[in-house]
Amino acid sequence: MCGICCAVSFSVEHFGEDLKEDLLCNLKRRGPNSSKQLLKSNVNYECLFSGHVLHLRGVLTAQPVEDERGNVFLWNGEVFSGIKVEAEENDTQIMFNYLSSCENESDILSLLSEVQGPWSFIYYQASSHSLWFGRDFFGRRSLLWHFGNLGKSFCLSSVGSQTSGVANQWQEVPASGIFRIDLKSTSISKSVVLKLYPWKHNSKENVIKECVNSLTHISADLPTFVSVVANEAKLYLKEPVIPLNTMLPHAPLGVHCSSISSIPPTRETLQVFLTNGCMKKVVQQFIDVLTVAVSRRVLCLPRDENLTSSEVLKTSERKANVAILFSGGIDSMVIAALADRHIPFNEPIDLLNVAFMTKEKTTPTSFNKKGRRQKDHCEIPSEECSENVTAASAASPGEQFNVPDRITGRAGLKELQAASPSRIWNFVEINVSLEELQKLRRTRISHLVHPLDTVLDDSIGCAVWFASRGAGWLVTQDEAKPYQSAAKVVLTGIGADEQLAGYSRHRARVQTHGLEGLNKEIAMELGRISSRNLGRDDRVIGDHGKEARFPFLDENVVSFLNSLPIWEKADLTLPRGIGEKLILRLAAVELGLTTSAVLPKRAMQFGSRIAKMEKNNEKASDKCGRLQVSSLENLSIEKD
């Protein structure tokens, strides 16, 4: 993963300007292993490229990379399939080699259409004075743009900055396709024309992807001197997933299980479905495709295999390379169980469980300096990551953090320990006070969530930031000790609810519009996941120098689930804890999981209790004033 940025100037008075210090700092946090800048000057324009690398595979390759013809490439992505990348190779260099050999637009589109995995990129093609950029089909990597000075400059960046001064200056690059700008013509006309090469499935006649923003919608939020047009040749990228199966049943469903609709959800209830041979086969196919997706995401990173025999660490001394955002719910439990199949047996796995302080006053159980249990005042790890563990060495977790996700997380830990007792499972209790939440939202998190600005974005963004930071307590039966996760890869279960009808709104949709309405809702969920979730989550997790990976959004997983009729994925006539994400619950049973297989969906903001910490009367869709604090403060500072 990387922090990538390209600042373009079209007027002499802006030539030679460096990136603002705060933007450079934010980019470096994403890529702590290498930083490099490159300036490309032309009589008409100037481009400053800035690359910051988190090293995860092959030889460390500093970015930006440049070839002998003056082409420049910035890549924030992972090639998991589609393009061959050997274990010892770096995908940035492989992708650049292919791009440099492309002879025309069609070649570039064919190359990017083949890549399976998350990506955003910036590519300067010197011969045509073209700047290409974009995000993958699902928008799993962040890329922002802002246009300033009446067409005299613009900037592309993985992350924005706090002191940009003008609200809404940064916007997410839509994951509608890839874009190309002719820098030479722009410098002359002073109007920016962005040519769009959209995603399209072969069976569709319409070039513009139906479930993503139209050209008009993309242009609506841009300055008047910026326009987005379809490319003249009507070229497009091939969608990496098959269309959603919208087939409807010919007869009412649930005949074979009508007798269980009123029975509380249990593992035995789910096993009834697995007596159906066809259903059991589909579930196994799902397990197989999801297993491959998880394996690709836990194996593509450096490990200790390269150490000499004298350097190999004892199992108890080894650091986890992979962490999981872990609530103990069905999504994170299945990911953990599958990760256990592929991560070396002597390597720990970090389970990151976040909780926000509840308002109830309790006398917590804590530990003295020797790690013994005692009754005492409870504090929590605070300050930045580097200070967190040492500063909190005399403090420990207590009962005011026994939120729902903490309780289910501990239960999930016991399940995993029973299923894989030889594995070291590091259950990391991450506890956040109101004071720490407010401080770090103001100083770090608000600009990462931006340009998203709702109450829901605030809650999820803050919860994911603290969880992925990985600074908390390693708690066993007898002691607790401060712990900082060193894992560079963070697995998250996002995408399961969107595809498998996991949200309460899906039940409401079925009640009002039937299965046809549910199909439309799921299609909409996938169509908007780039703008609603993934850019934000990538910025938030990447701020710790860690990479977010999304197994449920693997192209093959999505294609498999898209191929199934809705009733094989969910049956919302059944009770909560069974009907939603039915196929995933059945997979959990097949994997040997017990309690977690029937846990009902609980949103992260409620499970972690962050939604209860401040204003309780807000709606998730309301604009969040707490996210505007930094912008207002910075505006005040600049005016002074």
For residues 572 and 580, what is the distance between their CA atoms, to the nearest angstrom? 6
What per-residue confidence (pLDDT) applies to 215? 80
Inform me whether the pLDDT recorded for 631 exceeds 60: no
Q: Is the pLDDT of residue 632 over 50?
A: no
pLDDT in the model for residue 417:
96
- With a pLDDT cut of 90, the percent of the chain lying above it is 64
pLDDT band at residue 348 under the 50/70/90 scheme? very high
Q: Assess whether pLDDT exceeds 70 at residue 539.
A: yes
pLDDT score recorded for residue 311 = 46
3-state secondary structure of 259: helix
Q: Is pLDDT at 48 greater than 60 in this prediction?
A: yes
pLDDT at 319 over 80: yes
| CA distance to 14, 100, 149, 224, per residue, from 191 (Å) | 17, 28, 11, 9
Supply the pLDDT for residue 216. Answer: 77
Q: With contact defined as beta carbons under 8 Å apart, do 130 and 72 qualify?
A: no
**pLDDT mean over 590-613:** 85
Q: What is the pLDDT of residue 17?
A: 74
- Of 246, 291, 257, which Cα lies nearest the Cα of 579? 257
Confidence of residue 313 (pLDDT cuts 50, 70, 90): low
* DSSP secondary structure letters along 322-385: EEEE--SSHHHHHHHHHHHHHS-TTS-EEEEEEEE--SS----EEE-TTS-EEE-------S-H
**Amino acid sitting at position 177:** G
What's the average model confidence in pLDDT over 368-388? 40
The residue with greater pLDDT, 616 or 311, is: 616
Q: Is the pLDDT of residue 164 over 70?
A: no
516 CB-side CA count, 13 A: 3
**Surface-to-core class of residue 558, CB atoms within 10 Å of its CB (0-12 exposed, 13-18 middle, 19+ buried):** buried
Average pLDDT of span 420-438:
95
Q: What is the pLDDT of residue 620?
A: 85
Question: pLDDT tens digits for 380-394?
Answer: 333 343 344 333 333
Exactly one of 2, 5, 155, 462 is catalytic; which is it?
2
How much of the chain exceeds pLDDT 70, in percent?
84
Decide if pLDDT at 475 tops 60: yes
Confirm if 26 and 52 have CB atoms less than 8 A apart: no
User: Alpha-carbon distance 573 to 125, whole Å?
Assistant: 54
Residue range 186-217, pLDDT digits in tens: 888 878 899 999 998 765 555 444 434 468 77
Q: Are 209 and 528 in contact (CB under 8 A)?
A: no
The predicted pLDDT at position 16 comes to 66
Q: Which helix (H) or strand (E) holds 427?
A: strand 425-432
The verdict on whether 6 is a catalytic residue reads: no
Residue 177: pLDDT band by 50, 70, 90 thresholds?
A: very high
List the domains of the chain with CATH numbers: 2-238 (3.60.20.10), 262-305+313-383+393-634 (3.40.50.620)
**How many CA atoms does the CB half-sphere of 233 hold within 13 Å?**
8
Alpha-carbon separation of residue 566 from 261, 372, 459, 577 (angstroms):
18, 52, 30, 17
Higher-confidence residue: 5 or 188?
5
pLDDT range class, residue 252, cuts 50, 70, 90: low
Residue 625: per-residue pLDDT: 84
Question: If you ran DSSP here, which 8-state letter would residue 393 be given?
Answer: T
**Which among 215, 627, 591 is positioned nearest to 459, based on CA atoms?**
627
Mean pLDDT along residues 469-485 = 90
Per the rule left: phi > 0, alpha: psi between -120 and 50, beta: everything else, 329 is: beta
Q: What integer pLDDT is reported at residue 360 of this predicted model? A: 53
Q: Which of 66-75, 186-195, 374-383, 559-568 has the lowest mean pLDDT?
A: 374-383
Q: What is the pLDDT of residue 256?
A: 46
Alpha-carbon gap, residue 577 to 575, rounded angstroms: 6
The pLDDT value given to residue 622: 85
Mean pLDDT of 287-296: 98
Cis peptide before 174 (omega within 30 of 0): no
Q: Looking at 2-105, which runs of residues are DSSP E strands?
A: 2-9, 34-41, 46-53, 65-66, 72-77
Please check whether residue 349 is in contact with residue 336, taking contact to mean a CB–CB distance below 8 angstroms: yes
Each residue's pLDDT tens digit, 100-121: 999 999 999 999 999 999 999 9
Nearest to 175 by CA among 159, 196, 205, 160: 196
DSSP 397: -
What's the number of CA atoms in the CB half-sphere (13 Å) around residue 262?
1
Rg (the chain; Cα; Å)? 25
CA proximity to 545, closest of 312, 323, 300: 323
Model pTM? 0.89
pLDDT greater than 80 at residue 258: no
For residue 218, the model assigns a pLDDT of 84
Per-chain mean pLDDT for the chain: 85
Q: Which of 77, 76, 74, 71 is nearest to 63 (CA)?
A: 74
Nearest CA to 149 among 204, 88, 225?
Answer: 225
In this prediction, residue 601 carries a pLDDT of 83
Q: Cα-flanking dihedrals φ and ψ of residue 341, to 5°?
A: -70, -25
With beta carbons less than 8 A apart as the criterion, state whether 357 and 433 touch: yes
> 573, 58 in Cβ contact below 8 A?
no
Contact 541, 490 (CB under 8 A): yes
